[in-house]
Amino acid sequence: MMMKKSIICAFLILVGLQPSLAQQRNEIKVPDLDGYKTLKCDFHMHTVFSDGLVWPTVRVDEAYREGLDAIALTEHIEYQPHKKDINADHNRSYEICKKKASDMGILLVKGSEITRPMAPGHSNAIFLQDSNPLDTKDYKDAYKAAKEQKAFIFWNHPGWDRQQPDSTKWWPEHTELYNNGCINGIEVANGDVYSPEALKWCIEKKLTMLGTSDIHEPIQTDYDFAKGEHRTMTFVFAKERSLDGIREALDNRRTLVWYADMVIGQEELMKPFFEKCIDIKEINRDEKGVTLSIMNNSDLIFKLHKTEHNPSLVYFRDYTLKPHTKHTIKILFNDGIKGGDMNFEITNLITYPEKGLNYTIKL
């Protein structure tokens, strides 16, 4: 009898010590770029330490299961509706997570959300040392405190209709922050909202593009993983998988945003990224035409649409390259031509508002 009890106890202790080993990590399959690792990051989320509905360590488990490399918990500095039950300083949710994140190999970036009326609205300051000095009366002092800590600051959900009911405007307050180096990036996508204005501003003003979940509930409340959905996130092209690596990449604007079935970002990054996702092989050629095989090795979908081309080269008008699928495509030569440029726009790889990546396959 005694023997049995002690075996059960030992078993319970072992189970109790390693509760997270049973979680399955679903790696996101997207390629690295030459010289850079593609880190999957979400720098905007909440827990019960502001207006979220989960304990901080749950965010680490979620990130692990979804194959993320890095997260930031960005509790609202100015809005803490659970304060009666959870009364702690602004650093606490980060501190609670720190060990678990490190044990599970998730990079944890320290951040906070400066939560003000428009203008300037909401911003996340990440790579902070101490969140408490951001708790100030005047918003300018909060940005100043973040800047003094060399934080990376990005404007959140600029098109949020509760703060910009008619149109998404850039206010004089943003010009002042921008001139003081207090806007380093903008959320081009936040949760299920994409902002073409933010994309335009990031290109014009040389700011970093970010995609975030801004998750408040448990993640599965907002995303149906069984249907293949994924949280809105940022692909960060870092020289190394580390906090320093992420910071260097953000400072140098090496990001793409993954939002629903779209990838959004600068053409200079999008083009090599797309090329790494696919593998094109010529499998047959004669006087009548060419047969290509196009393998999509990524988790992403690509929607190709034919653009202006030599009409003697006959190919599809619209074509979808599905994830992890090999596609065989026949291109016909008319009027005695021997080859040519197959031009198309990839309509879900967005490089400017309403504009997809232009791509040419030379035949």
Residues within the interface to Zn ion (CB under 5 A): 51, 122, 156
Buried b (16+ CB within 10 A) or exposed e, 241-270: eeeebbbebbeebbbbbbbeebbbbbeebb
Q: Which is nearer to Zn ion, 158 or 289 (by Cβ)?
A: 158
Name the minimum Å distance from CB 187 to Zn ion.
Answer: 9
Give which of 214, 323, 222 is closest to 278, Cα–Cα: 323
Name the minimum Å distance from CB 176 to Zn ion.
Answer: 20
Residue 362, φ and ψ in degrees, nearest 5: -85, 130
Q: Which is nearer to Zn ion, 51 or 135 (by Cβ)?
A: 51
State the Cα–Cα distance between residues 200 and 15, nearest whole angstrom.
51
Name the minimum Å distance from CB 209 to Zn ion.
Answer: 17
Residue number with the smallest Cβ distance to Zn ion: 122
Q: Which is nearer to Zn ion, 51 or 197 (by Cβ)?
A: 51
CA-based torsion, 62, 64, 68, 73: positive or negative: positive
Q: Which residue has the tokens 């040419």?
A: 360
DSSP secondary structure of 79-147: --TTTTT----TTHHHHHHHHHHHHHT-EEEEEEEEE-STTT-EEEEES-S-SGGG--SSHHHHHHHHH
Name the minimum Å distance from CB 90 to Zn ion.
Answer: 14
Q: Measured between alpha carbons, how far is residue 89 from residues 72, 79, 94 in Å?
A: 17, 13, 10
Q: Which is nearer to Zn ion, 52 or 265 (by Cβ)?
A: 52
CB-count burial class (<10 Å; 0-12, 13-18, 19+) for 149: middle
Q: Which is nearer to Zn ion, 122 or 254 (by Cβ)?
A: 122
Q: Which is nearer to Zn ion, 155 or 344 (by Cβ)?
A: 155
Please, are residues 351 and 266 in contact by the beta-carbon 8 Å criterion?
A: yes
Q: Which is nearer to Zn ion, 122 or 230 (by Cβ)?
A: 122
Q: Which is nearer to Zn ion, 69 or 113 (by Cβ)?
A: 113
Please, are residues 69 and 243 in contact by the beta-carbon 8 Å criterion?
A: no
Q: Which is nearer to Zn ion, 156 or 195 (by Cβ)?
A: 156
Name the minimum Å distance from CB 191 to Zn ion.
Answer: 10
Name the minimum Å distance from CB 358 to Zn ion.
Answer: 35
State the Cα–Cα distance between residues 124 and 187, nearest whole angstrom.
10
DSSP secondary structure of 323-363: TTEEEEEEEEE-TT----EEEEEEEEEEEETTEEEEEEEE-
State the Cα–Cα distance between residues 164 and 249, nearest whole angstrom.
30
Name the minimum Å distance from CB 158 to Zn ion.
Answer: 11
Q: Which residue has the tokens 């593998």?
A: 279
Name the minimum Å distance from CB 51 to Zn ion.
Answer: 4
Name the minimum Å distance from CB 238 to Zn ion.
Answer: 25
